[in-house]
Chains A and B, each alone.
Chain A
Amino acid sequence: MARVTVASQMCRPFMGTVTEVEIDASNVRALIRELDRRYPGLGNQVEESMAVAIDGVICQDTYLEPINPDSEVCLIPKIAGG
């Protein structure tokens, strides 16, 4: 199962003090769905305001990016730029 970590406190309203979970998900959409099932409201938070770093690669606004069983997934704020 993929190891999902949260470095910022953006997920605290949904996850409380939990900062790391293991999730069986084959892509970002499945990840969001499972996060929302476990922590209601978190799916929307991730979808609207956060990016997902999969094995060090930052992915934004995508359902389709694949996640492997041994992937490291990190929930981070969305990134913009200048």
Chain B
Amino acid sequence: MNYLGKDVELKVVGTRPIRPDGVEKVIGRAAFGADFRVAGMIHGKVLRSPHAHARIKSIDTSKAEALKGVRAVITANDLPNIPSEEAFVGEGPANFRDMSLNTIARDKVLYDGHAVAAVAATSPSIAEEALRLIDVEYEVLPNVIDVEEAMKPDAPILHDDLFTQGVDPKPTKASNIAKRMEFKLGDSASAFSKADVIVERKYKTAPVHQAYIEPHACVVSYGADGQAQIWCSSQGQFMVRAYCAKLLGMDIADIRVFPLEIGGGFGGKTLVYLEPLALALSRKSGKPVKMTMSREEVFRGSGPTSGGAINVKIGATKNGRIVAAECEVMLQAGAFPGSPIGPALMTPFAMYDLSDVTIWGYDVVSNRPKVAAYRAPGAPVSTFATESAVDELAKQLDMDPLELRLINAAKDGTKAVYGPTLKDIGFVETLEAAKSSSHWNSPLGDAAPGKRRGRGMASGFWFNIGGESSGATYVNEDGTITVVSGNPDIGGSRASMGMMAAEVLGMDVKDVRTVVGDTTSVGFSFLTGGSRVTFATGMAVTQSAEMVRDELCKRAALLWEIPAEAVEWKDGKAYPAGENAGKFDPLTIADIAGKSARTGGPITGKASINAQGAGPGYATHICDLEVDEETGHTTVLRYTAIQDVGKAIHPSYVEGQLQGGAVQGIGWALNEEYVYTKDGRLDNAGFLDYRIPVASDLPMIETILVEVPNPRHPFGVKGVGEPPIVPPMAAVANAMENATGVRMSSLPMSPPRVRAALDASEG
């Protein structure tokens, strides 16, 4: 057990208390975005483009404005026309002009579902009727959906002012390729001459939605004094505040955002869609405005993650040492630049100790919704390709794929292809845990007639991040504790924050309540994403609890009239530190809190930090599956997710993160994809036609937590939410190859595609 690098007995951290938000969610009383109401509110709806690519020639809103019950109609002209301005304010580099144009189109619509106008009315049905009365005249333009098609010189161009960055000389012709990026270590081209075996293959992945169950929803009230209140479900109340202020031309201090419960985000709620429109509608109507996306709107109007096309070439010697690797990644950004091309290039070889690697890629726009983050953005796409290729390499070398990975595994001291020398990493430990796992050592079992079984494994990497976080610990009058966090609780942070505070204070976690503060009740916190909250906000909360602990000792010293240094804190009580300090009965937190007015006032600890040193996460997954030869349907029989988590504060939540990431990755592998018509319209905008795995589809995902502590965190925490979505697609594809002998290089491996691949292999 570890606290501040010392071996101590942890009494709360590492245990599994009942989740603090569980009862309210189970009985349906937790307030999510769509549940929230305020007195006098009216209802907003969005008019969306039916075209994938079109010029807006005119918008006539007069009939809608005249409809009884309509209180406001807005178009892009009701929001400031923002100039191009790069900023790294949310979940990656953003351009505020693009963000504004994605919120509501100005001159062109760039995807099916792009917002063009919005209405607020006294009822949802009147608002919908008003949308039908808005007359938009479009000049339909050719569209391009596929990433490789979009890169062709004769492709329809989305932005006349978009010129490829990162190439020399600077281009003079507009392109859909927003950026080229490259990482290079050694000399891969020459190093291939040392290889005995070379695998070279092209892969493709589909863009997929984060598939959070709760749709985007908000209530916004713009006051007569120019100050606004926003209640919404998001991954960051401060993110919503900053973006809305920018897009509406308001001061940040004039916006207060109240975070509601969030029904899943996974990166998809790191942007704003409805909030700026609701603000503009509320400002124009003088009424609070509620907006909720339908499921169809979520699919058509909010950002999925990127799909991509990937070319991989890997060479190894006969003894399994990888000597050279090259990878080209073409990543979809959607309608505006900003795919996660950087991480897509930095991650797929980060599991290995390689000396000669070149990896390059392209950020490509096309007529799809602008992509949003999704767990480990970029990494699953490129890693599907490289981990499939590593498996193929093992087969050609007649080696165990796990042993091949062990031979080449990155360790402390390995120089990563993206630059740094790695330290405090636990990749080998995940491989060793896989090797000794019950799953890896159990027989696969015989397939029933007409079915084929296979086992595969794959690994993955994600950096994890820190960043700005705030936390506060308050001692209440009765000795209970309130912890305030600046981050929405997506993956159990109320539990982990409370547990870390309880550990520091030596108290029972049931006496600690953690709440998520609004933007005026806690210091700025970067959003919940990047697997950063338990690490970074956990550090802030731990520091705030340490301040409280130190203050409690000072107050005890005042009561005992001895020096503060003569007081020690143990098991939730103040004790005299040794016989020389005097003889006093220990004081509990309640004892000290009861006297706080007399000893200096309320006892509070607050910390605002910019946390650095998030330890990287490594994961290794094992998948057993069975393929029905007749239908091509795949059943996952057994699945184990193994991950270096640093230190699991609440192991059940950590296991849940691993299970959730694995399930989402399995869906990405087997079923999920956006289906477009020839004219660029999304054809499966709903969960009936966009098939995600449900509980009855899958076995219980087994988990193995490996704990290689992160020395930069007081309890050794590493982020856990993102690595588990990186290995699944390759693990499933490798199991599929093991079952069928067919290497499927294009996702999803849906039944028709599996059946077609089996047909092709059988001639």
Measured CB to CB, the residues of A under 8 A from B are: 5-10, 12, 48-49, 53, 55-62, 65, 72, 74-82
Partner of A81, one of B185, B346, B417, B722: B722
Contact: A81 with B423, CB < 8 Å? Answer: no
Contact: B420 with A80, CB < 8 Å? Answer: no
CB nearest neighbor in A for B414: A56
Cα distance A56–B410 when bound, in Å? 13
With both chains docked as a complex, state the minimum distance between the C-beta of A64 and any C-beta of chain B, in angstroms.
8
**Sample (30) of A-B pairs whose CB atoms are under 8 Å apart:** A6-B419, A7-B184, A7-B185, A8-B342, A9-B181, A10-B166, A48-B88, A49-B88, A49-B93, A56-B423, A57-B612, A58-B613, A59-B613, A60-B466, A61-B467, A72-B421, A76-B419, A77-B181, A77-B342, A79-B342, A80-B90, A80-B92, A80-B343, A80-B465, A81-B375, A82-B373, A82-B375, A82-B377, A82-B529, A82-B530
Q: Is the interface of B mostly helix, strand, loop or mixed?
A: loop
Cα distance A5–B420 when bound, in Å? 9
With both chains docked as a complex, state the minimum distance between the C-beta of B528 and any C-beta of chain A, in angstroms.
10
Q: Is the interface of A mostly helix, strand, loop or mixed?
A: mixed
Nearest 4 A/B pairs, CB to CB: A81-B530, A82-B267, A74-B419, A7-B419
Cα distance A34–B340 when bound, in Å? 29
With both chains docked as a complex, state the minimum distance between the C-beta of A32 and any C-beta of chain B, in angstroms.
15
With both chains docked as a complex, state the minimum distance between the C-beta of B616 and any C-beta of chain A, in angstroms.
8
Contact: B181 with A10, CB < 8 Å? Answer: yes
Contact: A80 with B421, CB < 8 Å? Answer: no
Partner of B340, one of A72, A76, A80: A80
CB nearest neighbor in A for B374: A82
With both chains docked as a complex, state the minimum distance between the C-beta of A73 and any C-beta of chain B, in angstroms.
9
Contact: B182 with A59, CB < 8 Å? Answer: no
Cα distance A65–B346 when bound, in Å? 23
With both chains docked as a complex, state the minimum distance between the C-beta of A1 and any C-beta of chain B, in angstroms.
17
Chain B residues closer than 8 Å to A59, beta-carbon distance: 612-613
CB nearest neighbor in B for A57: B613
Partner of B421, one of A56, A61, A78, A79: A56
The digit string for B369-385, where 1 denotes a CB below 8 A from any CB of A, is 00001111100000000
Contact: A81 with B419, CB < 8 Å? Answer: no
Cα distance A7–B349 when bound, in Å? 14
B164 within 8 A of partner (CB): no
CB nearest neighbor in A for B616: A58
Chain B residues closer than 8 Å to A78, beta-carbon distance: 88, 92-93, 342
Chain B residues closer than 8 Å to A9, beta-carbon distance: 166, 181-182
Contact: A80 with B419, CB < 8 Å? Answer: no
Cα distance A78–B418 when bound, in Å? 12
Contact: B419 with A60, CB < 8 Å? Answer: no
Given A58-B613, A77-B342, residue A82 in contact with residue B421 (CB < 8 A)? no
Cα distance A9–B465 when bound, in Å? 22
Contact: B343 with A79, CB < 8 Å? Answer: yes
CB nearest neighbor in B for A58: B463
Given A58-B463, A77-B342, residue A8 in contact with residue B183 (CB < 8 A)? yes
Chain B residues closer than 8 Å to A75, beta-carbon distance: 419
With both chains docked as a complex, state the minimum distance between the C-beta of A70 and any C-beta of chain B, in angstroms.
12
Q: Which of B313-362 contact A (CB under 8 A)?
A: 340, 342-343, 345-346
Contact: A81 with B91, CB < 8 Å? Answer: yes
Cα distance A8–B138 when bound, in Å? 42
Cα distance A79–B615 when bound, in Å? 13
Given A82-B266, A82-B267, A82-B373, residue A58 in contact with residue B185 (CB < 8 A)? no
Cα distance A74–B422 when bound, in Å? 11
With both chains docked as a complex, state the minimum distance between the C-beta of B411 and any C-beta of chain A, in angstroms.
12
Contact: B420 with A77, CB < 8 Å? Answer: no
Chain A residues closer than 8 Å to B712, beta-carbon distance: 57
CB nearest neighbor in B for A59: B612
B525 within 8 A of partner (CB): no
Contact: B417 with A7, CB < 8 Å? Answer: yes
Chain B residues closer than 8 Å to A57, beta-carbon distance: 420, 423, 612-613, 712
Given A61-B467, A81-B373, A82-B373, residue A8 in contact with residue B270 (CB < 8 A)? no
Chain A residues closer than 8 Å to B270, beta-carbon distance: 82
CB nearest neighbor in B for A72: B421
Apart from the given pairs A8-B418, A81-B463, A81-B529, 16 other A-B contacts in the complex at a CB distance below 8 Å: A7-B418, A7-B419, A8-B181, A10-B166, A53-B420, A57-B420, A58-B614, A60-B466, A60-B467, A61-B467, A72-B420, A72-B421, A80-B340, A81-B377, A82-B529, A82-B722
B86 within 8 A of partner (CB): yes
Q: Which of B439-472 contact A (CB under 8 A)?
A: 462-468
Chain A residues closer than 8 Å to B422, beta-carbon distance: 56
B58 within 8 A of partner (CB): no
Given A80-B91, A81-B464, residue A56 in contact with residue B420 (CB < 8 A)? yes
Contact: A79 with B612, CB < 8 Å? Answer: no
Given A9-B181, A60-B465, A61-B610, residue A82 in contact with residue B418 (CB < 8 A)? no
Cα distance A19–B75 when bound, in Å? 48
Cα distance A26–B181 when bound, in Å? 30
Cα distance A21–B331 when bound, in Å? 32
Given A7-B183, A10-B181, A55-B423, residue A81 in contact with residue B532 (CB < 8 A)? yes
Chain A residues closer than 8 Å to B184, beta-carbon distance: 7
CB nearest neighbor in B for A5: B419
Chain B residues closer than 8 Å to A77, beta-carbon distance: 181, 342-343, 346
With both chains docked as a complex, state the minimum distance between the C-beta of A23 and any C-beta of chain B, in angstroms.
15
Cα distance A81–B374 when bound, in Å? 7
With both chains docked as a complex, state the minimum distance between the C-beta of A56 and any C-beta of chain B, in angstroms.
4
Chain B residues closer than 8 Å to A53, beta-carbon distance: 419-420
Chain A residues closer than 8 Å to B103, beta-carbon distance: none
With both chains docked as a complex, state the minimum distance between the C-beta of A28 and any C-beta of chain B, in angstroms.
10
With both chains docked as a complex, state the minimum distance between the C-beta of A9 and any C-beta of chain B, in angstroms.
5
B531 within 8 A of partner (CB): yes
Cα distance A63–B374 when bound, in Å? 29
With both chains docked as a complex, state the minimum distance between the C-beta of B424 and any C-beta of chain A, in angstroms.
8
Contact: A76 with B377, CB < 8 Å? Answer: no
